[in-house]
Amino acid sequence: MPEFQPERAIANGRTAWILKAPGAGDNHQLASLAGLIAEHHRWLGHIDPVTHVLRDRILPGTVSRIPENKRAVFTPPWPELVLIAGGRSVVDALRIRTASGGYSRIVCIGRPWAPLHWFDLVVTTPQYQLPSGPPVFPVSLPLNLPDTSQAEAIAPLEAWHHLPRPWVGVLLGGDSGSYRFDQAAIDDVLTALNRIQQQTDGSLLIVGSPRTPALALDQLERKLSDPHLVHRWRPDEAPAPYPAVLKHADRLAVTADSASMLAEAVYSGKPVSLLPLKPRLRSRLLRSWSDLNLPGRTLKKRLIQAGYWIPARDLNLLHCQAHQHGLIQDQPWGKSDQRYAERLLFLNCEIKQLQKRITQWFEA
């Protein structure tokens, strides 16, 4: 099975500061981006409370001065790149760029919750619905790239050795702002997994996450046909089942609630399908509203660019684009596996275009 192995930034001399984000998925993306574009990078771990972020956004002059509690950290030599995810560290990134006299360039991942012209580049994915045009750089999936340096050390778990192949890795999320993992969703997932097992005559390797309801894992363990194994999430478990499933499963099935988990599955190079979860009422209403051909789309685009309108996240848009590019399928259990090399080549081309976009800044 082909693996996704983009070209890393080696010996380009470039420096980057990474402002840590609150979420593990965002930090994974930041680490991946740093590895793609900078030879040297440094993590800055201070995360301001939301109240301080709001205060700094409202009060005038906050960008022009570095607070006393950060002066020991925000000091020269200034980096060429400042990497952030989301809106939490926007003000700190602007402070660094101002203090550097414009030398440091800001690259934001995802949705910055701010005027787009504040940034040198915004690397975003379809669910955030940001309008095209500078500085927006769209990619098909979040940058949750595999850590190839650790890949060879990841071994299959001993408990799997007696299970017949193919191994179907099942990656479970849980309740989120967009989806519910309730009893109806559990029943749908059970139906889908039983169908997959019948089609493959293989084994299900099921991995829960911190958000996976215990009720879901209990019912899957009890009601699924054998052979299957259920791994419940435990902090600091060793060996960890999640990276082992990504590395050694023959196919993957992922619940629809997590963009990061979907990206990690696709970048593994394995055939991937989505497991259904029920969208929350709010998500369904927002999707219906977005589908309406209402007047004022040009105004809405300008409001988003100016930071006055923040579009709601719609993971369905991410799923639809991934389907269109063949990155995920409804039932990827047949002869289509050979096309995965082409799909990974497509993703690799996106990454190379991103690297080229940033490299051009330093070649001018």
Q: What is the pLDDT of residue 151?
A: 55
CA dihedral 180, 182, 184, 186 (to 10 degrees): 100
| Domains of the chain: residue spans and CATH | 15-147+348-363 (3.40.50), 157-279+319-345 (3.40.50.2000)
Strand partners, 82: 17, 106
Residue whose C-alpha is closest to residue 233's, from 213, 252, 207, 259 = 207
Q: Kindly state the tokens that stand for 206.
A: 């099921």
| Positions in the chain short of pLDDT 70 | 1-11, 148-153, 281-296, 330-340, 364
Specify the pTM. 0.90
Give the list of residues 6+ apart from residue 335 with CB closer than 8 angstroms, or none: none
Structural contact between residues 220 and 206, judged by C-beta atoms closer than 8 angstroms: yes
- Distance between CA 286 and CA 58 in Å, rounded? 28
Return the axis-axis angle of helices 340-363 and 259-267, rounded to nearest 10°. Answer: 110
- Distance between CA 117 and CA 100 in Å, rounded? 18
In the three-class reduction of DSSP (H, G, I as helix; E, B as strand; rest coil), residue 174 is classed as coil
CA distances from 160 to 227, 246, 258 (A): 10, 14, 26
Q: What is the pLDDT of residue 269?
A: 87
Structural contact between residues 75 and 89, judged by C-beta atoms closer than 8 angstroms: no
Report the 10 Å Cβ neighbour count for 294.
9
Q: What is the pLDDT of residue 2?
A: 57
> Across all residues in the chain, what is the average pLDDT?
87
Q: What is the pLDDT of residue 309?
A: 87
CA dihedral 207, 210, 212, 217 (to 10 degrees): 50
Q: What is the pLDDT of residue 289?
A: 55
Q: Kindly state the tokens that stand for 117.
A: 């012209």
Could you report the per-residue pLDDT of 131-178, keeping only the tens digit for each?
988 899 999 999 999 876 665 557 788 889 899 999 999 999 998 878
Strand order in the sheet with 136-138: 40-44, 15-19, 81-85, 105-109, 121-124, 136-138
Report the 10 Å Cβ neighbour count for 327.
23
How does DSSP assign 97-163, residue by residue? HHHTTT-SEEEEES--SS-GGG-SEEEE-GGG-PPSSTTEEE-SS------TTSGGG----GGGTTS
